[in-house]
Amino acid sequence: MSFEEKMLYEGKAKKVFTTDNMDEYRVYFKDDATAFNGEKKGTIQSKGVLNNSISSFFFELLQSKGINTHFVKKLNERDMLVKKLTIVPIEVVVRNIAAGSLAKRLGWEEGRKLKKPVVEFYYKSDELGDPLINRSHVAALDIATPDQLDELEGVSLKINSALSEFLTEKNILLVDFKLEYGLHKGALLLGDEISPDTCRFWDASTNEKLDKDRFRRDLGNVEEAYQEIWKRIGGK
């Protein structure tokens, strides 16, 4: 009996499919772009191709640093093979420089360097708009144990150090970024993607935005910004 692939999920930027291995999924990267919890929608030409390449590169980099991820291999321009995860419904945001919602919340100008990285937790819920939560909320929601939260924070800070060190050599500031995790056979693994969709990247010399903020804020040259990130990290 031949295997029939099925789509399990379609999100804002990706589609997830079953494979003939029950422990692995195929992730397809779309060109669709959304912002403000789906209120703004559009298309960025070749975004899926670029994000697949950029994410594959960063997952391989992090795995070389001893960080466990769901990444198995890049299959082609738009598809990635990953390990099956039971998603932890917490988005972890690490911030090195004030921007976006943090700048608004604290009344700071964007670009203010933080004395040390800030780690935030958000409840992964499209219906609620992914609200900011704290450890007490996590306990009330019963979505992670205290030990898992400690691991989420510790691994996220380790990822921040590894990415920041690498990107500094490429004249890129890692302003902030979002991470998602899941459980695979009891182990906590980094999932989702690492790309200009999920990270704020600024040129270190000019503070020019090289990420999805160009789409959010109608700054233009969105595809060129994604291409620039891929070029700087070593892509063709």
Domain ranges of the chain: 7-83, 86-221
Among 55, 95, 97, 74, smallest CA distance to 190 is for 55
86-221: in CATH 3.30.470.20: yes
- For residues 125 and 160, the answer to whether their CB atoms sit within 8 Å is no
From the CB of residue 51, how many other CB atoms can be counted at a distance below 10 Å?
Answer: 28
Q: Check residue 38 and give its pLDDT.
A: 66
User: Please, which contacts does 127-133 make with residues 24 or more away whose CB atoms are closer than 8 Å?
Assistant: 129/37, 130/37, 130/91, 133/90
Distance between CA 189 and CA 34 in Å, rounded? Answer: 26
Say yes or no to pLDDT of 61 above 70: yes
Non-local (6+) Cβ contacts of 178 within 8 A are 91, 92, 93, 122, 192, 198, 199
**55: DSSP letter:** H
Say yes or no to pLDDT of 1 above 50: no
What's the whole-number mean pLDDT along residues 190-207? 98
Q: Would you list the DSSP string of 157-213? A: HHHHHHHHHHHHTTTEEEEEEEEEEEEETTEEEE-S--STTTEEEEETTT--B-STH
| Residue 120: strand pairing partners | 93
Among 114, 122, 109, 110, smallest CA distance to 96 is for 114
**Quick one: CATH architecture of 7-83?**
2-Layer Sandwich (3.30)
Kindly report which listed range (22-26, 44-48, 65-69, 150-154) carries the lowest average pLDDT score: 44-48
Q: What is the pTM of this model?
A: 0.94
Straight-line distance from the first to the last Cα atom of the chain, in angstroms, rounded to the nearest whole number:
41
